[in-house]
Amino acid sequence: MNKQVFMRIISDYVSFFQQRRDDVGRLGISPLQKCTASLRMLAYGCAADAVDEYLRLGESTALSCLTHFTDAVILLFGEEYLRRPIPEDLQRLLDIGEIRGFPGMIGSIDCMHWEWKNCPTAWKGQYTRGSGKPTLVL
């Protein structure tokens, strides 16, 4: 799904993301600004007041954007994307991981067990994780 389609869907179904005019007739914050603020806070873990300089939004507005954005994603995409994986999903993820050189990986690459071939003998039992081979979580 590209950016324009996503913005149209979220604007059509969630009134918070529709651009309005204020009492003087000036356009308010655009849906793109609101979504960008939310995504920056989610992706980079930045504070709400950190988007002020880049997007010209205040802290309370940025927090409101984030709340409405997460609620909208759950409402619009929850049934399809926020569900437990079915066997076909798991197999697809395993196949993709194997192609990329990570056989047996279901989760994220940021937390994986890697075999530790030079593990000191004294530490070996602490890092086996039931497989018999010493591994480290990276």
Give residue-wise pLDDT tens across range 98-122.
887 777 777 665 566 666 677 776 6
Q: Are 41 and 97 part of one and the same domain?
A: no
Number of domains in the chain: 2
On whether both 69 and 19 belong to a single domain, the answer is yes
Q: Is 123 found in the same domain as 91?
A: yes
Distance (Å, whole) CA 27 – CA 20: 6
**Given this model, what pLDDT does residue 26 score?**
92
| Of 58, 81, 104, the domain-final residue | 81
Q: Do 47 and 21 share a structural domain? A: yes
CA dist., res. 129 & res. 49, Å (int)? 42
Domain boundary among the residues 38, 64, 81 is at 81
CA distance 95 to 104: 9
pLDDT per residue over 82-97, tens digit each? 888 889 988 998 888 8
- pTM exceeds 0.85 for this model: no
Quick one: 67 and 96 in the same domain? no
User: 20 and 41 share a domain?
Assistant: yes
> Does the pLDDT of residue 123 top 70, yes or no?
no
Structural domain harbouring 74: 3-81
Q: pLDDT tens across 20-55, in order? A: 998 899 998 889 889 989 999 999 888 888 888 778
Same domain membership, residue 39 and residue 91: no
